[in-house]
Structure 1
């Protein structure tokens, strides 16, 4: 039995075994042979009946390597850039970040931290082993380190007034230690923070394309609040946005911050301070129902998509996948292992001409669809539907968009 790291009061019960899935789903290989040879890791999911926290019980940190060969950058999408800018403006206003010191753990390629520093005049410190830029300071006021934050020795962390971590917390093998290290470094000062993760309430109530090997943990509202508060922080806001796919939580060292607020779905991030606090009992029950039905729902979705793609191919519609991120990699591994789709495209030029792990699908520019003339475009993230539809129109294509 494995103890729950979120609430600390339950044990994790196995509920779904997805077998072997790509470990390095953020790496894009120079050759197909390299891609096909990339490692698989076991996805064995367990959940806590007390707080609905979910974890990959088969996770092996020894095979999960982060370095600058990974590219998980979402800022090539106009929709994501717009969301990120709205978030910067909302955080700056709600937490009075002008001139503050900001620590960003899992900063990616630094776009968010740079924008936050430029908007507020703050000083930033960004840590990420995937950061491929020049280490050190830049003109935005941010200082970047291509490596992990020294959480094992909190005294070595830079002083900070505000800590952010977007789409990294779920990668931590010990997320509780992550939060307690930050709380220790904050000490007696008033320090606030913002964490954003994929919403487990969405991912486990659907096919689970975001149930990927690098994600050790899956948090809904109850589990995320539980682990934050157990680590000694006070929750001041929570909710979801980006079509309900991202979950956020804001917290402070002191309970005297803004009144608790939350939003159970999409709105402009600037509006978070005017929203309601959700019912955690109802949220936990919804999540437990989603968890208990996940294995069968996942199997049905795989069967449905195998049938759908075969029918599209047989009718001459030349189906393609738009989006070669982690969700796309998971979809391709489980639904198109024989590489029968007519193409995989992505807006990130760093992926063009490279190959995806395990299946070896080649990634190309959306421009290649002019020649292919697909009748159907499959996407795995509904938040990008409008953006992709506009791009298809600009390419002169009249293809149906199917959301997996």
Structure 2
């Protein structure tokens, strides 16, 4: 760690220096890219992951992050909407936001809109208008059914449209300077009353477990306290925060320029308690030892299953799966990797070079053990295995 990294001020509270606590070594940089050629996959770039935390607010950052290594474009595919469980979760969130914020006729700004599924549904249900930005957006640009999509990063400053409500799901943790982003977003409201919904991976979950979601594109890791802290410091009013999707996702709802007398039903106006922060600090304290122990445990488990003829496979070639394979199966002892997303089929994963196949291949392979890295999908995957005629033990990594 160089001197600049060692003295970095906390991005969330801005009051203390970040203290290193875990070195994960080199990991895939482009964990959302799936390569056509095996050689290109194994030669894809790696970056160093050195985690440091703020002792005051429990914010966590990869202090070895190098933004120039990451290229966000249409070759990345982080789409989760092929999963029925995720589709259901997303649809319920759309209904909830529209019910509580009355978005009819409002302009919704979606920063990091992915392939636009969420914004399209929100506009359709609410009768509002939408503008979405994402450098990974691979669809048709321009207006579609009330929403306009741009295959680029959201502009800063006056380039932003005059929004009423903004959403950003699983993008905020990617931003190199999250505080500056929030200040600019608030300033572009230009005194208008606006609201926002932001969703990130929950850092308490990720750091209290093996940490398969501690990936290179994720610069920052927020718990309830640090997430509320950075929004408050940037001039936003915290309306509410909590977890969703089996506790894996953390959300925060915020407002700006709203008179206190017009209280929103969920309004608290207060930061989460220090008890929430201390829970995150406890996860931080044990993370390095736990993470390295889980790496070795799963290497041993895969080797044992392979030796027993169980033909173990991994279900899920998303970022969590890529991280798991890099750290637990560099020897390619697994009998296969499958995923629901057809854009990944027949393509190779970064660094390890695992080839992704459709789940239907398991009917012929007949594995006796299926490893998953996301427990939220366990029931869905269990049903899919039964439909494929596969009898296998599901192991949650």
Residue 296 of structure 2 corresponds to 303
Q: Which of 85, 91, 97 is equivalent to 2:103?
A: 97
C-alpha separation in 1, matches of 2:126 and 2:266 = 24
The alpha-carbon deviation at position 257 of structure 1 amounts to: 3.7
Q: Distance in 2 between matches of 1:103 and 1:173?
A: 20
Counterparts of 1:259 and 1:177, CA distance in 2: 29
- Name the SS for the 1:186 alignment partner: coil
For structure 1, the 5+ residue unaligned runs are 263-276
Correspondent of 1:355 among 342, 345, 348 = 348
Q: For 1:401 and 1:261, how far apart are their aligned partners in 2?
A: 41
Equivalent residue for 2:34? 28
Instruction: Name which of 147, 153, 158 aligns with 2:152.
Output: 147
Q: Which runs of 5+ in 2 are unaligned?
A: 1-6
Aligned to 1:83: 89
Question: Would you say the 8 A contact 1:48–1:54 is kept in 2?
Answer: yes
Q: Distance between the aligned counterparts of 1:127 and 1:245, measured in 2?
A: 24
> Where does 1:241-252 land on structure 2 (aligned, <5 Å)?
241-252=244-255
- 1:129 has 2:135 as partner: yes
SS at match of 2:351: coil
Asked if 2 retains the 8 angstrom alpha-carbon contact of 1:76 and 1:347, the reply is yes
Tell whether 2:178 aligns with 1:179.
no
What are the equivalent positions in structure 2 for 1:286-301 lying under 5 Å apart?
Answer: 286-301=279-294
| Alpha-carbon distance, 1:160 to partner | 0.3
Asked if the contact 2:225/2:272 (under 8 Å) is kept, the reply is no
Work out the CA distance in 1 between the residues paired with 2:282 and 2:332: 34
Say which SS state the counterpart of residue 204 (structure 1) adopts. helix
C-alpha separation between the residues in 2 aligned to 1:183 and 1:173? 18
TM-score (norm 1): 0.94
- In the TM superposition, what is the alpha-carbon distance from 1:383 to its structure 2 partner? 0.4
Q: Is the 8 A contact 2:28 2:45 kept in 1?
A: yes
- Measured in 1, the distance between the counterparts of 2:267 and 2:195 equals 15
Task: Give the superposition deviation at 1:260.
Answer: 4.1
Of residues 47, 50, 63, the one that matches 1:41 is: 47
> 1:215 is matched with which residue?
218
Matched, 1:170 2:173: yes
Contact 1:375 1:400 in 2 (8 A): yes
> Quick one: which of 202, 207, 222 aligns to 1:204?
207
Residue 117 of structure 1 corresponds to 123
Answer yes or no: is 1:158 the counterpart of 2:161. yes
**Correspondences of 1:199-348 after superposition (within 5 Å):** 199-253=202-256, 254=258, 255=260, 256-260=262-266, 280-348=273-341
1:372 CA displacement:
0.8
User: 1:40 Cα deviation (Å)?
Assistant: 0.2
Q: Tell me if the contact between 1:236 and 1:257 (Cα under 8 Å) persists in the aligned partners.
A: no
Instruction: Say which SS state the counterpart of residue 292 (structure 1) adopts.
Output: helix
Find the counterpart in structure 2 of residue 380 from structure 1.
373
Instruction: Report the TM-score, using the length of structure 2 for normalisation.
Output: 0.96
C-alpha RMSD of the superposition: 1.1
Cα displacement (A) at 1:259: 4.4
Aligned to 2:326, the other structure's residue is in SS state: helix
Residue deviations 1:313-366 (CA, integer Å, cap 9, x gap) = 111111000000000000000000011100000000000000000000000000
Displacement of 1:261 in angstroms is 6.1
Q: Give distance in 2, aligned partners of 1:85 and 1:259.
A: 22
- State the match for 1:11 in structure 2: 17
1:347 is paired with a residue whose SS is: coil
How many residue pairs match? The answer is: 387
Q: Deviations over 1:229-267 (max 9, x none)?
A: 1111101111001000000000001244424469xxxxx
SS at the partner of 2:67?
A: coil
Distance in structure 1 (CA, Å) of the matches to 2:264 and 2:349:
45
Give distance in 1, aligned partners of 2:170 and 2:263. 24
